[in-house]
A and B are shown apart, each in its own frame.
Chain A
Amino acid sequence: MKITRRSLVDRALKGSLLALTFKVGGASLLLTPAEARAQDVPLQKLSAEQARRLGVLAEGMVPGSEELGVVHFLDHQLNADPNEALLIAKYFQVAPPYLNFYARGLEVANGMSQSATGKSIEELDAAALEQLIASMAPPGTVVEEFPIFLFYLCLRSDAIDVVYGTPDGFARLNVPYMQHIMPPEGWNG
């Protein structure tokens, strides 16, 4: 297919940058992570507890990310081939499978929460959650031999992706998207 600017713009007007193929009841549906969350699409990799904690942490880092489906985005990508994965963790030389990194990060973060407050992440009030995140954020922070700063950096970036990295996110910032081309409908992420 010959690519011209016009054809690119035409195609760009269709679909969403973060539309992924989710499995629902044996069928494949092209949904945004926000739609997958709203439709309560079953998670493939994350447990319910992990999903709750990830959602709370991500929301504390980047407000709006939970509703925009950061947990479904992560769950979908944790299922992907490492070379095809859309997670920024790969840029930070995290060794696949990436689920191990996220699961351990959640364990350590929850341990930090328990040590500081006696509560799990999902039980924290806003001030305590902010305190927990602030304790993960200093560059180079390692807890229980785990690079919790790196986990913070990756999860914060994942959350920024779903809030600010899409055409809607650009619009929220009044930044022209100026796309050449977007993933076509049915393109399997």
Chain B
Amino acid sequence: MAKVLEPVDTVVVGTGAAGSLMAAVLAEGGKSVVVLERGKARKMEDLYSSQIWARRLKWGSPHVADAGPDSIWFNFNAGHGYGGAAIHHYAVWPRYHEDDFEENSRYGRSLDWPFSYDELRPYYDQVQEEVGMAGDAEKEIWRPPGDPYPLPPVLVSNHGQVLARGFEAMDMHTAPIPMAILTRPYKGRPACIWDGWCDAGCPIGALANPLAIYLPRAQKAGARLQPNAHVTRVMMDKSGKKATGVEYYTPEGEAFIQPAKAVVLCAFTVENSRILLNSADSNHPNGVGNSSETLGRYLMAHPAIGVTGLFDEDMQNYLGATGGQLLSQDMFDKKGDPNGAFGSRQWEIGLALKPNDMLGIGMTRPDIFGAKLEAFMQDGARHMGSMVGVCEDEPLITNRIELSSQKDAFGFPLAKVVYEMSAEGRKLWQTAAKEGVDIFKAAGAREAWHGPPGGQHIMGGTIMGKDPASSVLNGHGQAHDVDNLFVGGPGVFPTSSSINSTFTAKAMAMKSARYMVDNWSALSG
């Protein structure tokens, strides 16, 4: 028998990019807030500088099985514990472009968001000011309208300068990469020292992870954080129209009901869908919020490509941020692909390198082993350049999150993922593979190559849309079927663009939270 806790105004599930921000705004708006996190509590001093120890920040269990042809790389993308995935994110924060919101109406492809860029812009501007973003808006010739960045751009070392040569030689533009990393002290937080440990979590708070900004704000405003809370279901009233709270279990198997006037799911793309599917009852036989039968559908991940090369110069590739130094979106035109693919691309240029791990020097040439490896590592440590290409994935209804026949420790079905990279995304990736190597050669690389396709930034599953018959949420992130149920995070995106998802997830979370505070009487009644 689950123990019923004291009711609160809002229960927020998840402490990542969206959950932390929504908790802060709701608590500052005078609501009593409990934030449930399935992982452990974590503090800044737990963020050790090591690619090995950084793996504790990533998902490991319960297992999310890949049941389709391709992987979405869930564990690498997802997070575990306070801060969620955002605790290890790289803070590359360009804005989605205007046409990312209107792909169907402009091009007859893909889907539309239920609102335009103009409607989200104020929230981008607000979040940008609150966290202290660095960049050069004028040099980002592709940037949609927005306030100038509050801080000057990030460091550009030899690494960035050498690779920029290649772009210039191919008549392409670069600009300082817009980042949620402090280049000067800002609102009591120190500036970055360009040590490249972003993936391991930034313990000084220069990078805008949830522990640095929104979780402390939420707590200061009275929100209570509850770690080790495995949320299993959204609880519904008898009418099936109102959420009444959530059920969660401790690791020891003790069950609780947290009653709330409003429920906000920000447990990342896969878990949000899993919780709603597992919440099925007689009123919602296919899962809560699933009258459209699109819950779990339109799962997306950016097809990504790593391009690597060896140069004669000392690249100083250990300096900088993991997400890079420069950006190019010259290839963003959705109808500009030479192979006829629909969709956008971008390059993140000059990623700070470490010897080991997924994005490390050793992994760039997995075919090298034995006696040849040491020479390669020595060469790479001094002379390697690196950039990542990010491609748009088309939202396909066949790509989905489903419940598995396997169950978790509390008897609830696990999630499995059926995903195949879209044909458009695959073609864009192929274009990027050739272009990336050409750029490196133009920059003077003595050797250049690219890696295999990877998946970055998991989106979809609980998409927004104007039509309740074809989407889960409206433009406020509010379930079409349940007025007091909201979802945050990149799972709400109807299109993927080719742009890193965190800034847009934050802006969307701000939009949702402001709506909740401003319309509290109506949605909590």
Residues of A within 8 A of B (CB): 1, 3-5, 8, 12, 17-18, 60-63, 81-88, 90-93, 95-96, 130, 133, 137-139, 152-153, 156-157, 160-161, 164-166, 169-170, 173-183, 189
Contacts and interface: CB of A to CB of B under 8 A. Distances in A.
Given A12-B49, A164-B355, A83 B71 contact: no
Contacts of B452: 139
Contacts of B363: 157, 160
B278 to A, nearest CB: 20
Nearest to A11: B45
Given A62-B369, A164-B355, A180-B203, A174 B55 contact: no
Contact of B73 (A61, A87, A91): A91
Contact of A91 (B39, B50, B358, B371): B358
Given A84-B60, A93-B71, 20 more contacts: A1-B45, A62-B369, A63-B370, A82-B60, A83-B60, A85-B60, A88-B55, A90-B58, A92-B75, A93-B65, A139-B366, A160-B360, A173-B355, A175-B355, A177-B49, A178-B195, A181-B49, A182-B49, A183-B50, A183-B53
Interface in B193-217: 193, 195-197, 202-205
Nearest to A91: B76
Contacts of A4: 204
B366 A164 contact: no
Contact of A175 (B47, B48, B64, B381): B381
Given A63-B371, A90-B75, A3 B203 contact: yes
Interface of B: 39, 43-45, 47-53, 55-56, 58-61, 63-66, 71, 73-76, 80, 190, 193, 195-197, 202-205, 318, 354-358, 360-363, 366-367, 369-371, 373-374, 377-378, 381-382, 452
- Taking chain B's interface residues, is the majority helix, strand, or loop, or is none over half, making it mixed? loop
A156 B61 contact: no
A181 B61 contact: no
B74 A137 contact: no
Contacts of A17: 48, 50, 52-53
A182 B377 contact: no
Nearest to B66: A93
Given A63-B373, A179-B195, A183-B50, A137 B367 contact: yes
Contacts of A179: 49-50, 195, 197
B366 A170 contact: no
Nearest 5 interchain pairs by C-beta: A165-B356, A82-B60, A178-B195, A82-B61, A164-B355
Contacts of A133: 369-370
Contacts of A166: 50, 52
Contacts of B71: 93
A170 B357 contact: no
A12 B47 CA distance: 12
A162 B44 CA distance: 25
A84 B80 CA distance: 9
Which residue among A1, A93, A179 has the maximum number of chain B CB atoms within 10 Å of its CB?
Answer: A93
A178 B322 CA distance: 14
